[in-house]
Amino acid sequence: MSDSSGKRPPINWYGAIVLLATPLAALILVPMYTWHNDFSTAAWVSFVVLVILNGMSITAGYHRLWAHRTYEAHWSVRLFLMLFGSMATQNSILIWASGHRTHHRHIDDDERDPYSAGRGFWFSHIGWMLRKYESGQDDFRNAPDLLNDPIVMFQHKYYVPLVVLMNVGLPALIGYFAGDVGGVLLLAGLVRLVWCHHTTFFINSLAHMWGTRPYTDENSARDNGILSLFTYGEGYHNYHHIFQYDYRNGIRWYQFDPTKWLIFSLSWVGLTRNLKRCPEFAIEKARLTMQFKQAEAKLSLKAVGHAQLEAMRARLAQESEHFTQVLNDWSKLKEAWYNEKKQELLQKWEEASFRTRFQEIEYRLKMQRKRLRLLTAQVVAA
């Protein structure tokens, strides 16, 4: 694939060797090993444990901590996430997080999004790392905070030794004490690396092509609960791309997001703090906006003149007016609250009154969303 100039960019030999040689080596070496040996229980256990530690160091560390600053963490947590994030061999925190910020800023822009889904599955999944595309060039102007982070910069400086230590040294050490160096190196080293690579890459590719868009249709990101099972909650990607500063991706109790649970659990013992959450009102507003769009689209496909459909159109217009009024009420209330704050005249009982009124408006939005869902179902059934 060529870049904006029409020329094929030069090959990224480091990326090509790591990303193409490791799965090939796994396909050859694992069958050869199993022909003569059985993998020990220690090899399988270390594979599972390191897969989890490796994967969640990317989701909780590289992604939600360093790329988006959705929470703050104790130095010991940051050190741990840095070390096991190095094991993922997805480049340094500085390069990974800076590139990811560029992706969010220019999502779906084929010229500026480093792994734009608009350039196809192969490109967004792995192709963008095989050549030195202009859109993927390092530009750390968006990461001054990372440039001043000693743990980030230590890893960036000693990235290759850390990769070797965590991918070869640690599995070899585990294998030595378990009496199965070869088995642990293959499963917990090589196969684990290939698995973690491609489950992470699925968020760049499949999560922009397969799933639903309940919060916004202004970008290609999708919510996909199945992908979340393999990516520690990262599959709720439509939500993430509109509310990227929320430490959660799966915001409902039933949504599988172990990264969220880890971050929240660590806050109980003081190892994480300042966990950022998007206001419920903004979430409901986004969901309702999408429901209106979907209902209008379905109604537009129905025949004009049918009495029942015309009544539904009238109801939809009425709900739209109500939605606009709720948003206006919210804006006026928030403006009044800010004015009171500025004047330092707000007393505790007034704050409680404002909170009650905010909750009332949020409740009105939730009830409207339910009514709109029923209306949409009736449209489909009509």
pTM over 0.85: no
Q: Is the pLDDT of residue 250 over 90?
A: yes
pLDDT score at 330: 62
**265 and 143 part of one domain:** yes
**334 and 227 part of one domain:** no
Domain boundary among 244, 273, 302: 273
**Does residue 43 lie in a domain region?**
yes
**Does residue 145 lie in a domain region?**
yes
**Does residue 205 lie in a domain region?**
yes
**Does residue 4 lie in a domain region?**
no
pLDDT score at 97: 97
**335 and 377 part of one domain:** yes
Query: 262: pLDDT confidence band, cut at 50, 70 and 90?
Result: very high
94-150 residue pLDDT tens: 999 999 999 999 999 999 999 999 999 999 999 999 999 999 999 999 999 999 999
**19 and 146 part of one domain:** yes
Domain of 174 in residue numbering reads as: 13-273
Q: Is the pLDDT of residue 375 over 90?
A: no
SS (H, E, C) the chain: CCCCCCCCCCECHHHHHHHHHHHHHHHHHHHHHHHHCCCCHHHHHHHHHHHHHHHHHHHHHHHHHHHCCCCEECHHHHHHHHHHHHCCCCCCHHHHHHHHHHHHHCCCCCCCCCCCHHHCHHHHHCHHHCECCHHHCCCHHHCHHHHCCHHHHHHHHCHHHHHHHHHHHHHHHHHHHHCCHHHHHHHHHHHHHHHHHHHHHHHHCHHHCCCECCCCCCCCCCECHHHHHHHCCCCEHHHHHHCCCCCCCCCCCCCCCHHHHHHHHHHHCCCEECCCCCCHHHHHHHHHHHHHHHHHHHHHCCCCCCHHHHHHHHHHHHHHHHHHHHHHHHHHHHHHHHHHHHCCCCCHHHHHHHHHHHHHHHHHHHHHHHHHHHHHHHHHHC
**Does residue 5 lie in a domain region?**
no
**Does residue 7 lie in a domain region?**
no
**Does residue 1 lie in a domain region?**
no
**81 and 201 part of one domain:** yes
**Does residue 8 lie in a domain region?**
no
Structural domain count, the chain: 2
**162 and 227 part of one domain:** yes
**376 and 358 part of one domain:** yes
Domain boundary among 273, 304, 327: 273
Q: Is the pLDDT of residue 333 over 80?
A: no
**208 and 356 part of one domain:** no
**314 and 364 part of one domain:** yes
Domain boundary among 273, 301, 334: 273
**303 and 213 part of one domain:** no
Average pLDDT score over the chain? 88
Q: Is the pLDDT of residue 28 over 80?
A: yes
pLDDT score at 294: 73
**178 and 301 part of one domain:** no
**17 and 88 part of one domain:** yes
